[in-house]
């Protein structure tokens, strides 16, 4: 478990119903997630968290995600749900909103007739 220096954060509970029940031949993808062994508070913001602490916590969470074998599946889950809170698949909620906006713009561009371009 990663610990941040001077961390006095209240740990936010991770709602169990937000974890998908999708299973494949090897079992659910989230069973292999590295974050299952880490503190939930690293991935979900406590209330009234100061900006500097939030940024440090999010970076620590992203480092955990970077070594996760199911990071891509986790990210796609968060984008398809869409997950409104926390770090999922190495992206914060704000970063996921940007990715979703780009995907929507790309879809609109692809739907435009070739003559309009």
Residues of the binding site for [4Fe-4S] cluster: 35, 65, 68, 74
Which tokens belong to 93?
């909620």
Which tokens belong to 59?
């970076």
Q: Going by C-beta distance under 8 Å and a sequence separation of 6 or more, which residues neighbour residue 33?
A: 68, 70, 74
Q: Are the beta carbons of 92 and 59 closer than 8 angstroms?
A: no
Q: For helices 93-111 and 71-80, what crossing angle results, to 10°? A: 70
Q: Are the beta carbons of 78 and 96 closer than 8 angstroms?
A: yes
Q: Residues forming the annotated binding site?
A: 35, 65, 68, 74
């Amino acid at each position: 478990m990663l610990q941040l220096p001077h961390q006095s954060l209240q740990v936010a509970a991770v709602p169990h119903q937000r974890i998908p029940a999708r299973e494949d031949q090897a079992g659910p993808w989230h069973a292999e997630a590295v974050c299952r062994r880490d503190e939930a508070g690293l991935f979900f913001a406590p209330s009234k968290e100061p900006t500097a602490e939030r940024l440090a916590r999010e970076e620590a969470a992203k480092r955990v995600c970077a070594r996760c074998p199911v990071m891509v599946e986790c990210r796609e889950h968060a984008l398809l749900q869409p997950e409104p809170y926390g770090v999922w698949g190495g992206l914060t909620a704000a970063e996921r909103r940007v990715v979703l906006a780009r995907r929507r713009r790309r879809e609109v561009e692809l739907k435009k007739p070739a003559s309009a371009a």
